[in-house]
Structure 1
């Protein structure tokens, strides 16, 4: 008897392992597909040495982003270097100085922009930030000429004053205000015809909080091509509401696709059309929250296994929970349940992605806690099953 039970257990474990391997492989396919579709937002950042470019980039796109390395030269012998970090590309200079080497930089940049026009949008430079230290009191003619040339090359230029102290009641330091007025008086071709005041990294010793980052990011979204907005949403770290809004949009697309497919009601059983729809949705949302593949795949296995088990165990009851399912016959029932399941899967997946991104659902060593992950997913999944997709208004 014991041996029989052991053989049965072994077969079950083999089947589970096989299913998990298949799911991981399928998720890998969709993860890579969605990564390619999301593309990359490329930012060129300029300014004199020591103005705080790296601090500004790290503050908006995540700690240590600007310290991953100088990257590769954009062309052979170029003074410009491109760092690729996920869905973000940073074009920066190395060993050259604005004013002294402006001609060389602009020559390289002109070549890059000219050649990139033949390439996919994700290989082009989309926006330029020009940074000036707010307390320097000087904005030289060479810098103004450099900004004009950037604009002539077709780049929208956002001019940022960095390290600008601000009083508790919101007043900018007078020296920075004077510098901003000097710059705007030149009538440069800069985004919004204004200078953006910022303080990127909080200074607890002096009681100075960070500010101005959201304004710079919003301006970047306004002038970046719409085709790279998804990549910019994924790359930035300061506007979580924008990430959530995009995730809800992706869930809505998946729900519509699931309804059109009229797939079998139980997800990840025999739903050959529903599986890639849901996995694609999950992969894209995971990338919005910068969750690496290995961790995202583990999350997907735990989440989809939990959803499948609930679906199979309570199929009859779930049909009753779907609004209108009891009055619809034929294939419409499959479509209705498929959309509800996809909606519930998407909302529950978004919830766990948000918690993982926030550093939750992990043990002391930082590894995912599968039990916490499963509970968090199921809690949201069950709540969403009885709602119509249009009822989702949360942007947690």
Structure 2
């Protein structure tokens, strides 16, 4: 493990930017996040809540439903049960299409959008203000290969996006969450929350997204689950190029051995297998901040080239925990040490550990500028990013 004093030439870390990349117009099919909506043979445009429910219930497989700008008030869950259905805002401006309940304290609408079919796409809209989840991808009901793109999920009573399973051993696999924002206006109602929480999923990617204020109430010390959590023997997850701000915990592969009562394939030794946590930026300067990155009962995990700045009471920012945890922790920049806990082991290489908060500029300003650019026809984060980390290229 190296310190910045050992190699000042690498005090570092520029997460490069797509500076000067123009926002695409609302009519553009392919956006600057490298995403193209699926092509379907049928399409329909709706403008009221009643029309939305009618269209979703009556849609043939592989239909696009375009939502006109406006607010769609829910009295029950919008359940998508048609394979290949595409639900997206018509103009591409996610702030102009809002699907919402009565508030995160009102459980009459527990889930805003439920997915119970394969190959569903949700894009270019805002969803939230419900008692449990903004989006639930229900593996137990046949959901898989779901795409969530340029979606703003806000203020839910529990996890903002949930990937679930059941006793049938059917899993929500091969899903992607990209170029989206998950946040609380201030905090969740309790500590039982995450930004993205997936049980027993395989082959997921969460990329180029922002997580803000994923935390519980101040009265409970702001405690909450990780902003991004994959567990219950999830496999081969990729978490890359995300920004996590002012959240109690950052990214976790696994919670611990036997943590779930419904692990994938009945496997209880590992809570996660394989996977990559790469090129993420995690910042929390508050004294209540917890860990930035965790590998808990996670086999063969790679934690690579992340920037983690946390200033809580813990003496570490990245941890490798429990005897079944193995993998590689490489090329990370952090202000706290990398800790092996409770028998966890990993290969360490090229990490820079030094308490240098001046390496970071204003992460909220960075986050806001990127969200502004992707609110109208989605994300500006293609293959590169504008930096809020100062220094030289490593």
TM interval, shorter chain, is under 0.3
When normalised by structure 1's length, the TM-score is 0.27
**Per residue, is there more strand in 1 or in 2?**
2
Computing the radius of gyration from Cα coordinates, the structure with the larger value is 1
When normalised by structure 2's length, the TM-score is 0.27
